[in-house]
């Protein structure tokens, strides 16, 4: 058993506290009206090779004797592009068009004031998508449909999709103004269709194994359905699928180009097949734990688990424990894992208490103190990322971490947690981060993290293209690539024909080169959604530059607004106004999203009748020499097999997670 990672596992369990409210309709605190009711909530998910399409259909009912505005909040899924919003009221159907945010809000408010039917979809920072519908007639129903896309990532051969419903509880201002109503009068249903060109050996929905119906149609085609009558929209749905262990390292390219006279767009998915070795020499591990008010009721429960972890560490490694709330403190100094030092560390952990606000900068600064340049160091950060005291500027975090040679691994709790800030922290160190849902398969998440912390990584990894002109790429800055981690890159291309892609990186000090050649098509209309995903990736890259201070906020806003309008994406600076056809015509609003969604629906209808397309482009000229690392079950050397003692450790952690589930926090960090 790897003791270093066991201690990380215990730390990770701190990050799975339950939020207080879930997604649902919102009513102002103290309102005399009954809340708008949700009569049913249906989710249809299609996972087809490189990306996921999520369609949500809801029926709202106004039980009051007067017309009201319906407001529905939904946690922002990481990396999601909201593409369609449709509202049906009576015989009238209205669709959405994205405008600059101020313009969209003005149109909606004017239509609402005039008593006309209208809707509005906005993004509330990192917290929620918010849908407004006015009016919902007294004692009447209205139907809301929205669609979003997001890229899929495979880690150690395991794919993961999350339908987020839990609110991470970090938006205290909103929580003081709104009362959320997440109950469903009828049925909450989820239908997931998985189409994979690669064989899939297992699927599961943690927590719903007995309730979900699973149908296997072929080696890569599954349908999963889940019905929950009378459910509440306060629990995430997490879907895992595991690819075959024998899959090679590979390069896949999903193109879209409707007009040969215009540039094409592509999504490249690189799954390295590289022999990364486990770290066998002594290393340093700094654990920086959030002990603000959000951790109420959990630290004492975990003291026994921390003791078990420390008791099994090896003297070759050193560890240090730092905690932070409004201030940071060192709980355990640099310590070799001798029995005497372990006993002292356990006593100090048992004495911890929780309270106060979140001074994340102070916690990281204290964690960086006293690093040894001669030993590899990993900093494991567990937090919701909501920095609300002390230094809060993301650029300051980035400048601080750029001064150190270490890897930061972040574990982020809650759907409304500040993942853009965590992304900035990971970017500064070439590290990695993961969100943790209460309904995650904790065993699986821990195993995926284990490979990143305890194995070598490719350093200074960067992609270059030659042949066909490739431009406006994303995700191509030199970084680290960890064991089993996919690399997703979006870009555009001109012309058609042969292109060569090269990955250059360093491994154990040696220069490594991996390359292959393939053809960009003159036209390919199978995946028009790729354009929106490319635009969203561009927006996220712009946001990173703004957060670290390399792009002025004014320029960032203009660029994000332009991309949002051009590719019909709801962003912080754009919004989607929902009207009927005559109202759009009366206001002279172009139907750009109507045209875009028509192309997407046509392509989706064609794909629904066909098996998953194989998009691997390096079959004849393999880019990588070995199979892709994977999580295997049972014996063998497949890169992550569960040994008996490792399984016992995970069982211990599941017991701890079970205890946490019954003792959810009553307060959040202020």
430 inside domain: yes
Q: Give the count of domains, the chain.
A: 3
Instruction: Tell me whether strands 37-48 and 51-61 are parallel, antiparallel or unpaired.
Output: antiparallel
Enclosing domain of residue 517: 250-276+458-559
Taking the C-alpha atoms of residue 362 and residue 314, their distance in angstroms, rounded to an integer, is 29
Helix (H, G, I), strand (E, B) or coil at 488: strand
Going edge to edge, which strands form the sheet with 318-324?
328-336, 318-324, 284-290, 377-383, 407-413, 432-436
Alpha helices (H) in 312-463, listed in sequence order: 339-350, 360-367, 394-402, 419-429, 442-454
Query: C-alpha dihedral over 540, 544, 549, 554, to 10 degrees?
Result: 10
Q: What is the pLDDT of residue 103?
A: 98
123 inside domain: yes
Taking the C-alpha atoms of residue 202 and residue 205, their distance in angstroms, rounded to an integer, is 11
Final residue before a domain boundary, out of 531, 559, 587: 559
Going edge to edge, which strands form the sheet with 158-163?
154-155, 158-163, 237-243, 200-204
378 inside domain: yes
The residues near 262 (Cβ < 8 Å, ≥ 6 apart) are none
445 inside domain: yes
Q: Please tell me whether residues 108 and 40 are part of one structural domain.
A: yes
pLDDT in tens, 470-501: 999 997 666 788 888 888 999 999 999 999 99
Q: pTM to 2 decimals?
A: 0.84
Question: Taking a C-beta distance cutoff of 8 angstroms, is the pair 335, 317 a contact?
Answer: no
The distance in angstroms from the start CA to the end CA of the chain is 38
Q: Please tell me whether residues 264 and 361 are part of one structural domain.
A: no
Q: Please tell me whether residues 356 and 338 are part of one structural domain.
A: yes
Going edge to edge, which strands form the sheet with 487-493?
250-256, 264-271, 487-493, 470-471
Q: Please tell me whether residues 426 and 477 are part of one structural domain.
A: no
80, 70, 597, 14: which is closest to 297 by C-alpha?
A: 14
Q: Please tell me whether residues 600 and 522 are part of one structural domain.
A: no
Q: Please tell me whether residues 536 and 586 are part of one structural domain.
A: no
Q: Please tell me whether residues 464 and 450 are part of one structural domain.
A: no
Q: Please tell me whether residues 412 and 423 are part of one structural domain.
A: yes
Determine if residue 227 is left, alpha or beta; phi over 0 gives left, psi from -120 to 50 gives alpha, anything else beta: beta
620 inside domain: no
Q: Please tell me whether residues 291 and 365 are part of one structural domain.
A: yes
Taking the C-alpha atoms of residue 283 and residue 280, their distance in angstroms, rounded to an integer, is 9
With 0-12 / 13-18 / 19 or more C-beta atoms within 10 angstroms meaning exposed / middle / buried, residue 248 is: middle
Q: Please tell me whether residues 388 and 504 are part of one structural domain.
A: no
231 inside domain: yes
Q: Please tell me whether residues 366 and 376 are part of one structural domain.
A: yes
36 inside domain: yes
Question: Taking a C-beta distance cutoff of 8 angstroms, is the pair 520, 255 a contact?
Answer: yes
Question: Taking a C-beta distance cutoff of 8 angstroms, is the pair 166, 414 a contact?
Answer: yes
Q: What is the pLDDT of residue 507?
A: 87
Question: Taking a C-beta distance cutoff of 8 angstroms, is the pair 152, 252 a contact?
Answer: no
CATH number of the domain residue 593 falls in: 2.60.40
CATH number of the domain residue 370 falls in: 3.40.50.410
Taking the C-alpha atoms of residue 161 and residue 52, their distance in angstroms, rounded to an integer, is 8
Taking the C-alpha atoms of residue 622 and residue 625, their distance in angstroms, rounded to an integer, is 7
Q: What is the pLDDT of residue 172?
A: 58
424 inside domain: yes
With 0-12 / 13-18 / 19 or more C-beta atoms within 10 angstroms meaning exposed / middle / buried, residue 491 is: buried
Taking the C-alpha atoms of residue 636 and residue 642, their distance in angstroms, rounded to an integer, is 9
Residue 255: DSSP 8-state: E
Question: Taking a C-beta distance cutoff of 8 angstroms, is the pair 25, 60 a contact?
Answer: yes
Q: Please tell me whether residues 315 and 453 are part of one structural domain.
A: yes
Q: For the chain, which ranges sit under pLDDT 70?
A: 1-23, 28-30, 167-178, 294-314, 384-385, 413-417, 435-450, 476-478, 632-670
Q: What is the pLDDT of residue 640?
A: 35
pLDDT in tens, 542-575: 988 888 888 999 999 999 999 999 999 999 999 9
Could you tell me the two tokens for 566?
């051009």
Final residue before a domain boundary, out of 537, 559, 581: 559
């Amino acid at each position: 058993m790897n003791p270093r990672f066991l201690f990380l596992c215990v730390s990770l369990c701190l990050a799975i506290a339950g939020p207080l409210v879930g997604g649902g309709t919102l009513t102002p605190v103290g309102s005399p009206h009954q809340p708008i009711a949700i009569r049913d909530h249906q989710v249809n998910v299609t996972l087809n090779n490189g990306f996921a399409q999520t369609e949500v259909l809801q029926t709202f009912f106004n039980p009051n004797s007067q017309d009201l505005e319906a407001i529905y909040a939904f946690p922002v899924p990481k990396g999601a592009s909201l593409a369609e919003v449709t509202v049906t009221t009576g015989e009238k159907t209205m669709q959405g068009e994205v405008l600059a945010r101020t313009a969209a809000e003005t149109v909606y408010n004017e239509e609402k004031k005039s008593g006309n039917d209208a809707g509005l979809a906005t993004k509330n920072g990192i917290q929620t998508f918010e849908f407004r519908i006015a009016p919902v007639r007294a004692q009447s129903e209205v139907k809301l449909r929205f669609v979003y896309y997001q890229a899929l990532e495979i880690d150690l051969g395991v794919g993961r999709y999350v339908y987020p419903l839990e609110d991470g509880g970090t938006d205290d201002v909103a929580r003081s103004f709104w009362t959320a109503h997440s109950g469903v009068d009828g049925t909450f249903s989820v239908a997931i269709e998985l189409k994979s060109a690669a064989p899939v050996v297992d699927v599961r929905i943690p927590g719903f194994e007995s309730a979900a119906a699973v149908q296997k149609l072929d080696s890569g085609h599954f349908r999963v359905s889940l019905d929950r009558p009378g459910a509440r929209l306060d629990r995430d749905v997490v879907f895992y699928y595991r690819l075959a262990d024998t899959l090679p390292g590979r390069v896949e390219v999903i193109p879209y180009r409707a007009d040969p006279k215009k540039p094409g767009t592509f999504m490249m998915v690189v799954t390295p097949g590289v022999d990364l070795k486990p770290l066998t020499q002594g290393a340093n591990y700094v654990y920086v734990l959030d002990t603000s008010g959000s951790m109420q009721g959990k630290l004492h429960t975990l003291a026994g688990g921390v003791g078990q972890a420390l008791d099994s560490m090896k003297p070759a490694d050193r560890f240090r424990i730092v905690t932070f709330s409004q201030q940071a403190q060192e709980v355990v100094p640099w310590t070799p894992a001798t029995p005497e030092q372990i006993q002292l560390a356990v006593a100090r952990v048992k004495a911890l208490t929780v309270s106060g606000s979140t001074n994340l900068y102070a916690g990281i600064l204290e964690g960086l103190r006293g690093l040894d340049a001669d030993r590899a160091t990993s900093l494991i950060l567990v937090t919701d990322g909501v920095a609300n005291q002390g230094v809060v500027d993301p650029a300051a975090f980035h400048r601080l971490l750029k001064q150190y040679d270490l890897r930061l691994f972040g574990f982020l709790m809650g759907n409304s947690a500040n993942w853009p800030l965590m992304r900035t922290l990971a970017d500064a160190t070439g590290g990695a981060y993961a969100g943790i849902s209460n309904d995650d398969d904790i065993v699986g998440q821990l195993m995926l993290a284990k490979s990143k912390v305890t194995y070598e990584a490719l350093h200074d990894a960067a992609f270059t293209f030659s042949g066909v002109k490739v431009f406006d790429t994303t995700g191509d800055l030199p970084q680290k690539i960890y064991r089993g981690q996919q690399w997703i890159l979006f870009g555009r291309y001109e012309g058609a024909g042969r292109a060569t892609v090269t990955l250059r990186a360093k491994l154990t000090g040696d220069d490594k080169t991996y390359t292959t050649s393939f053809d960009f098509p003159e036209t390919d209309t199978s995946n028009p959604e790729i354009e929106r995903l490319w635009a969203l990736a561009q927006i996220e890259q712009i946001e990173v530059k703004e957060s670290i201070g390399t792009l002025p906020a004014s320029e960032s806003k203009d660029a994000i607004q332009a991309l949002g309008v051009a590719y019909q994406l709801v962003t912080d600076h754009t919004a989607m106004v929902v009207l009927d056809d005559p109202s759009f015509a009366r206001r002279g609003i172009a139907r750009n999203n109507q045209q875009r969604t028509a192309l997407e629906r046509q392509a989706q209808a064609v794909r629904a009748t066909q098996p998953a397309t194989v998009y691997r482009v390096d079959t004849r000229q393999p880019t990588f020499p070995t199979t892709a690392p994977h999580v295997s079950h049972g014996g063998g050397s497949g890169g992550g097999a569960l040994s008996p003692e490792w399984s016992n450790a995970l069982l211990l952690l599941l017991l701890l997670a079970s205890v946490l589930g019954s003792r959810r926090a009553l307060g959040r960090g202020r």
